Amino acid sequence: MATDKVDKKDKKKEKREKKKQQMQEDEAEEPTESKKEKKKKKRKDREAEEEPAPVSEEKKKKKKKQKEVVEESEDEEVPKNKKKDKAEGGNAGRCRQSRGGDFTYKEHADVASMSTKDILAIREQKGMTVDTGGTNDVKPVTEFIHAQFPSKLEKWMLSQYERPSPIQSQCWPIILHNRDLIGIASTGSGKTLAFGAPGLQMCSKHPVVPGKPIMACVAPTRELALQIAEVLNAAGASLGVEAAVVFGGMPKYAQVKALKTAHVVVATPGRLQDLMQDGSCDLSGVKYMVLDEADRMLDLGFEKDIRNIIGATPSCETRQTMMFSATWPKDAAKLANDFLAKDVMTITIGSMELSASHTITQRVEVLDMAARDARLDQLLKEYHDKKNRVLIFVLYKKEAPRLEQTLKRKGWQAVAIHGDMTQEGRLRALEGFKSGATPMMIATDVAARGLDIP
C-alpha cells in the first residue's frame, strides 16, 4: 500500500515537470519579434482609449475664443468670493470708492470763494471736525440759500429756523456730493433735517410706489421714530413727500395703509422686519438709508436686525447711507465698515464720547434709598413752580409708576412713561408733557435719547 502511494506521487511529480518543460520550450520557440509586436499592440490600444473624440471645426473655434477671453481677463484683478451686503453684511460697503447719484450739486458762489482758512475758522467756531475719508474736502454752507434746496423747502426752513445748525452746515454739502456719511453729534443738534432735507429732495424726484419706499430711516424707540416722521412730514409737505412711521405696539393695518402713499418709511427695527416679512414693505427700491442713534440701537441688541434691514436694500453701488450716533463705539465702527463706502466722510460735533451739555449745571447727591423720595419732594418745592417742566429719570420700569403715584399723593401733577405702557399711553404722556398740561414726567431710558422737548 505504501509503495502504491509513493508511485502515485512520483507520477504526479513527473507530470508537472513535463508540463513545465513543455511551456519553456514553447516560449523558446516563439520569435522575439512577436513579443515586441504584442507590447506595441497593447500600447496602441491604451492610446486609442485615452484619445478624445474628434472635435468639429465649430467647437475648435469656440475653444479658441474662450481661451482668448481667459487670457485677456488675466490682466485684470478679479475679486474672489465677492459678497453683497446682505443679511449678515459682508464688507461689500467697501466695494467702491465713489458713485454717481441722484444729486447734482453745484457750490454757491459764496461757498466756492471760501479759502482753506475760512473753512477751518467756520469749523472751529462750530466745534466741528471733519474726516474726509482720504478724498477731497467738502466746504460747509452757512446759509440755507447755499445748499440750493428746492425753493419751497428752503422757504419752509427759513420760516422755522434762522440759519443751519453746525451739523446741517456740513452734512448737506457732503450728502449732496453723493457721499456716504457718519455724523457724530449729541441729541438736539438738528440731525433730523441734516439727513432729512436732502432725502426729501431726492424723494420728490421719484413717483410713489405703494409699499416700496425710496428713503428708509431706522430709529431705536417709538417716540424718536414718531418725532422724526413729524419733522419729515412738516418739511416734506412743501414738496408733496410723505413719511409713514411704523413701530410696535400699534395695529399694523393703519401703518400698512400709510406705506402705500409714502416715499419715506421711518421705523423701529422690529416692526419694520415684521412688515418686510409679510410683504407689506419692500426695501429693494431704497436709494437713501439712514440709521439714527445707531449706538443706542446697538446697545439695545438690534445689530442683527439692522444688518437684515440693510441687507434687504440695494447694494452699496446704488444706495447712499447715512449713520448718526451720539458716541462711536467699536461695534458702530464695524457696522459702518461693513455697509458704508470707502470714501465715507465723518463729521464730529464736540466729542466722540458722551458728555454733558455745557449749558446745564449739574449737582450730584449720594443718598440712602430710604431718603430719596423725601429729598426729591424737597427739591421740587425749591425749584418747581408748577409751570416749568421737570423730567425725572429712573433706572427700572417698575420704579416709574411707583414714583408717579408717590408724587401724586403729595399733590404733584406727574405722569410716567416706560416700555411696559401701551403705545397710546406713552403718546398721551409725552404729548401732555410737551404741551405743559402735565409739567412733570418720570421716564425710563425710552425718553433718554433724541426727543425734542421745547
At 152, the pLDDT band (50, 70, 90 cuts) reads: very high
Half-sphere exposure in the Cβ direction for 187 (13 Å, CA): 19
Identify whether 179 is part of a domain: yes
* Pair 189, 299 in one domain: yes
Average pLDDT over residues 336-361: 80
State residue 43's pLDDT score.
56
Beta bridge partner(s), residue 244: 265
Half-sphere exposure of 162 (CA within 13 A, CB side): 1
Helix, strand, coil: what percent of the chain each, to 5? 50, 10, 40
What's the pTM? 0.69
Tell whether the model's pLDDT for residue 117 goes beyond 70.
yes
What residues contact 432, with CB distance under 8 A and at least 6 apart? 415, 438
Q: Are residues 393 and 334 in the same domain?
A: no
Domain range for 374: 369-447
Last residue of a domain, one of 292, 320, 349: 349
Pick the last residue of a domain from 316, 349, 382.
349
> What's 375's domain CATH number?
3.40.50.300
Per-residue confidence band for 423, with pLDDT thresholds at 50, 70 and 90: confident
How many distinct structural domains can be found in the chain? 3
> Does the structure show a pLDDT above 60 at 54?
no
Say how far residue 22 (Cα) sits from the centre of its chain.
90
Provide the greatest CA pair distance for the chain.
140
Question: Measuring CA to CA, how many Å separate 310 from each of 8, 96, 202, 324?
Answer: 95, 17, 19, 15
Query: Which of 289, 317, 349 is the last residue in one of the domains?
Result: 349
Do 202 and 315 lie in one domain? The reply is: yes
Q: What residues pair up with 129 in beta bridges, in sequence order? A: 348
Q: What is residue 385's predicted lDDT score, i.e. its pLDDT? A: 83
Residue recorded with cell 470763494: 113
On whether both 9 and 115 belong to a single domain, the answer is: no
119 occurs within a structural domain? yes
Determine the straight-line distance between the first and last CA of the chain, rounded to whole angstroms. 131
Domain shared by 311 and 256, yes or no? yes
- Specify if 442 maps to a domain: yes
Pair 166, 290 in one domain: yes
Specify if 57 maps to a domain.
Answer: no
Beta pairing class for 264-267 and 243-246: parallel
Question: Which residues are CB-contacts of 150 (< 8 A; sequence separation ≥ 6)?
Answer: 201, 204, 238, 239
Q: Do 228 and 332 fall into the same domain?
A: yes
319 and 199, same domain (yes or no)? yes
pLDDT digit string, tens, across residues 356-367? 666 678 888 899
Tell whether 160 and 231 lie within a shared domain.
Answer: yes
**Segment (H or E) for 114:** none
Task: Looking at the structure, tell me whether residues 138 and 9 fall in a common domain.
Answer: no
Helix (H, G, I), strand (E, B) or coil at 57: helix
Give the C-alpha separation, 387 to 90, whole Å: 53
**Residue 305 within any structural domain of the chain:** yes
Average of per-residue pLDDT across 180-191: 87
pLDDT of 165-179, one tens digit each?
Answer: 999 999 999 999 999
Question: Could you tell me if 149 and 267 lie in one domain?
Answer: yes
- Are 131 and 40 found together in one domain? no
Mean pLDDT, residues 114-119: 94
